[in-house]
């Protein structure tokens, strides 16, 4: 009996030892394949009240914009750390919000209403709250996108209650803009409506009508903001991609109307999906959305090449994300892979739902303490430059690799994501211009940022950087994130269940010179 137990123990030990695999990651440094906006990383704020509930939980708390504590020090420091962060305020309820400006003197509070859109009545943005929001934006240096109510002036079609007909009434939006201009508030961009395109979610608008409405918004912005250098961008249609609707909209919208073509992605299914944790670690599943990114990018190139494709909202799993998955380390496999993929498909901006609120928040909804994806986003923002490089390898599909010219300094930055729970990848970067590894000799040490979950638990809300937990400082500031310095001639060891950013100055890439 003792011998049997010993054999079992030895076998168990053998199985638990992780394997290792050598992988050459090829980087084409001659030309870039795409470019992103300088502020590619974006996070969203939403309108949901505390009683927004799904699956017997109400994960929004006080995080909706009407209740959010905009004077919270952790929130302010977390946003400031990006210097600057792009933020979009929008979401499902934006097409039921009126603004307390101009003739809109009454300001109704949004309440539960069974026959209202998404189960809520119309609501109102008070002037005082708008002032608070802009004080916060000014203090933190945010590049701000504001989603406007696109259903003003419209009514339900008699044939189809979800179809809204008639022209957009810009009167209320005009009053908000005039007030904002008088106060010197800086708006980077205005977006029209939320998820009204294609089949819509709770409401929809015809593609030709939407083109007409957003042209009206463009004319309004041009009229009010005389200086073309500081004029806000116009974005749309802020919904789910279907080729027929998008192509029709872009054909009808006219040259120079739209600056960003925004679409939404929730490719992981519902937040209560029991298989969610497996989906975010399945490279085959994650790749299925690539065709959408390619199609949107091509539509934009054909119809309105001056405008860029944007992911205007993406939370992975819809209905507020997945509890104990979307807010933990493992979600980084989905999120950072999405960033790499969309950048390679020439998307300019990627807005993560949400900065705060729901289970998919980058900051804890009650404590404001950053979740692991916050740090992944911050590292991307600081390290990955605008020019995207072609990167490939012939190793396991569980190793994902993306490369950009470095944001600061010479060389390139490569993102390596290891979704395997048992294999360490020993990675060598190969420059397609040279036979030597890492593209040339240099005295400059390689900088590596290894992200791993605390105690090896992929559902941990604490992430380690090079083995040290990332925690707020005593003054509630975001901690410094210093790299590990490594001899550039050595291989990059990407441990199981880990994410690594690698900045190598010795990699000679003409696309980055």
Residue 441 has pLDDT above 90, yes or no: no
Q: pLDDT tens, 350-389?
A: 999 999 999 999 999 999 999 999 999 999 999 999 999 9
DSSP string, 275-316: THHHHTT-HHHHHTTHHHHHHHHHHHHHH-TTSEEEEEEE-S
Distance from first CA to last CA of the chain, Å, rounded? 68
Q: pLDDT tens, 256-295?
A: 999 999 999 999 999 999 999 999 999 999 999 999 999 9
Phi and psi, residue 472, nearest 5°: -60, 150
Residue 435 has pLDDT above 80, yes or no: no
Torsion of CA 263, 32, 282, 43, to 10 degrees: -40
* CA 261 – CA 263 distance, rounded (Å): 7
Q: pLDDT tens, 290-332?
A: 999 999 999 999 999 999 999 999 999 999 999 999 999 999 9
Is 132 one of the catalytic residues? Answer: no
Q: pLDDT tens, 142-188?
A: 999 999 999 999 999 999 999 999 999 999 999 999 999 999 999 99
Tokens standing for residue 396: 């396991």
Options 94, 191, 313, 438, the catalytic residue = 313
Residue 12 has pLDDT above 50, yes or no: no
Residue 1 has pLDDT above 90, yes or no: no
Options 94, 195, 447, 448, the catalytic residue = 195
* CA 66 – CA 96 distance, rounded (Å): 14
Residue 77 has pLDDT above 60, yes or no: yes
The predicted structure's pLDDT at residue 443: 64
Pairing of strands 384-393, 34-35: antiparallel
Residue 11 has pLDDT above 50, yes or no: no
Measuring CA to CA, which residue among 91, 43, 45, 86 is closest to residue 67?
45
Measuring CA to CA, which residue among 34, 103, 72 is closest to residue 385?
34
* CA 262 – CA 235 distance, rounded (Å): 6
Q: What is the mean pLDDT of residues 440-452?
A: 83
The predicted structure's pLDDT at residue 251: 97
Assign 3-class secondary structure to 77-111. Answer: HHHHCCCCCEEEECCHHHHHEEECCCCCCCCCCCC
| Residue 5 host element (H or E) | helix 2-16
Q: What is the mean pLDDT of residues 67-96?
A: 98
Q: Are 378 and 339 in contact (CB under 8 A)?
A: no
Which class for 159: exposed (0-12), middle (13-18), buried (19 or more C-beta within 10 A)? Answer: exposed
User: Of how many residues is the chain composed?
Assistant: 513
The predicted structure's pLDDT at residue 438: 59
* CA 174 – CA 103 distance, rounded (Å): 11
Phi and psi, residue 265, nearest 5°: -130, 120
Residue 409 has pLDDT above 90, yes or no: no
How many Å separate Cα 318 from the centre of its chain?
Answer: 14
Phi and psi, residue 494, nearest 5°: -105, 100
Residue 437 has pLDDT above 90, yes or no: no
* CA 334 – CA 316 distance, rounded (Å): 8
Is 244 one of the catalytic residues? Answer: no
Give yes or no for a cis peptide into 237 (omega within 30° of 0): yes
pTM of the complete model beyond 0.85 = yes
3-state helix, strand, coil in the chain (%, to 5): 25, 25, 45
DSSP string, 128-193: HHHHHHHHHHHHHT-EEEEEE-S-TT-EE-SS-TTBEES----HHHHHHHHHHHHHT---SEEEE-
Tokens standing for residue 273: 């999906």
255 CB neighbour count, 10 Å cutoff: 10
DSSP string, 324-335: TTTTSTTHHHHH
The residue with tokens 């000799």 is: 441
Tokens standing for residue 17: 């030892």
> What is residue 412's DSSP assignment?
E
3-state secondary structure of 17: coil
In sequence order, the β-bridge partners of residue 204 are: 163
* CA 101 – CA 97 distance, rounded (Å): 12
* CA 94 – CA 359 distance, rounded (Å): 20
- Of 16-20, 41-45, 177-181, minimum mean pLDDT range: 16-20
The predicted structure's pLDDT at residue 436: 52
Phi and psi, residue 27, nearest 5°: -120, 125
- pLDDT > 70 fraction of the chain, expressed in percent and rounded: 95
Read off the pLDDT band of 114 (50, 70, 90).
very high
Measuring CA to CA, which residue among 199, 215, 127, 132 is closest to residue 167?
215
Q: Are 412 and 405 in contact (CB under 8 A)?
A: yes
Residue 13 has pLDDT above 90, yes or no: no
Q: CA distances (Å), 292 to each of 214, 295, 297, 299, 381, in order?
A: 23, 5, 8, 11, 24
């Amino acid at each position: 009996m003792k011998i049997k137990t010993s054999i079992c123990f030895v076998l168990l030990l053998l199985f638990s030892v992780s394997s290792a695999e050598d992988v050459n990651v090829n980087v084409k440094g001659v030309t870039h394949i795409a470019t992103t906006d300088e502020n590619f990383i974006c996070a969203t704020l939403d309108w949901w009240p505390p009683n927004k509930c799904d699956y017997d939980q109400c994960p929004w708390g006080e995080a909706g914009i009407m209740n959010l504590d905009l004077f919270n020090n952790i929130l302010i420091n977390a946003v400031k750390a990006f210097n600057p962060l792009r933020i979009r305020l929008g979401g499902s309820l934006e097409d039921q919000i009126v603004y307390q400006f101009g003739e809109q003197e009454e300001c109704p509070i949004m309440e539960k209403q069974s026959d209202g859109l998404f189960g809520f009545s119309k609501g109102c943005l008070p002037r005082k709250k708008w002032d608070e929001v802009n004080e916060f934006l000014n203090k933190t240096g945010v590049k701000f996108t504001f989603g406007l109510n696109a259903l003003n002036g419209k009514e339900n079609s008699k044939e189809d209650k979800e179809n809204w007909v008639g022209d957009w009434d810009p009167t209320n939006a005009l009053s908000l803009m005039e007030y904002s201009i008088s106060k010197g508030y800086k708006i980077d961009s205005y977006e029209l409506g939320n998820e009204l395109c294609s089949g819509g979610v709770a409401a929809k608008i015809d593609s030709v009508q939407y083109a007409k409405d957003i042209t009206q918004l463009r004319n309004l912005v041009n009229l009010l903001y005389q200086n073309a250098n500081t004029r806000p961008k116009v974005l749309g249609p802020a919904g789910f991609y279907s080729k027929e609707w998008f192509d029709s909209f872009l054909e009808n919208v006219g040259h120079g109307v739209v600056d960003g073509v925004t679409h939404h992605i929730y490719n992981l299914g519902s937040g209560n999906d029991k298989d969610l944790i497996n989906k975010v670690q399945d490279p085959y599943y994650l790749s299925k959305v690539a065709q959408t990114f390619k199609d949107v990018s091509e539509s934009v190139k054909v119809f309105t090449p001056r405008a860029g494709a944007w992911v205007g909202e993406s939370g992975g799993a819809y209905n507020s994300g997945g509890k104990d998955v979307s807010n933990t380390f493992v979600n980084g496999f989905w999120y950072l892979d999405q960033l790499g993929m969309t950048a390679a498909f020439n998307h300019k901006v990627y807005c993560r739902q949400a900065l705060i609120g729901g289970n998919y928040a980058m900051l804890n909804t009650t404590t404001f303490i950053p979740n692991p994806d916050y740090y992944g986003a911050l590292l991307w923002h600081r390290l990955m430059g605008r020019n995207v490089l072609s990167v490939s390898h012939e190793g396991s599909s569980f190793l994902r690799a993306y490369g950009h010219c470095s944001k600061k300094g010479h060389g390139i930055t490569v993102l390596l994501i290891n979704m395997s729970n048992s294999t360490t990848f020993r990675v060598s970067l190969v420059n397609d211009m040279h036979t030597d590894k890492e593209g040339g000799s240099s005295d400059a040490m390689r900088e590596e940022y290894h992200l791993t979950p605390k105690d090896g638990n992929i559902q941990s809300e604490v992430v380690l950087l090079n083995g040290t937990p990332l925690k707020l400082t005593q003054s509630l500031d975001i901690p410094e994130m210093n790299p590990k310095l490594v001899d550039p001639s050595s291989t990059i060891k990407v441990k199981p269940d880990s994410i690594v950013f690698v900045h190598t100055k010795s990699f000679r890439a003409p696309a980055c010179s």
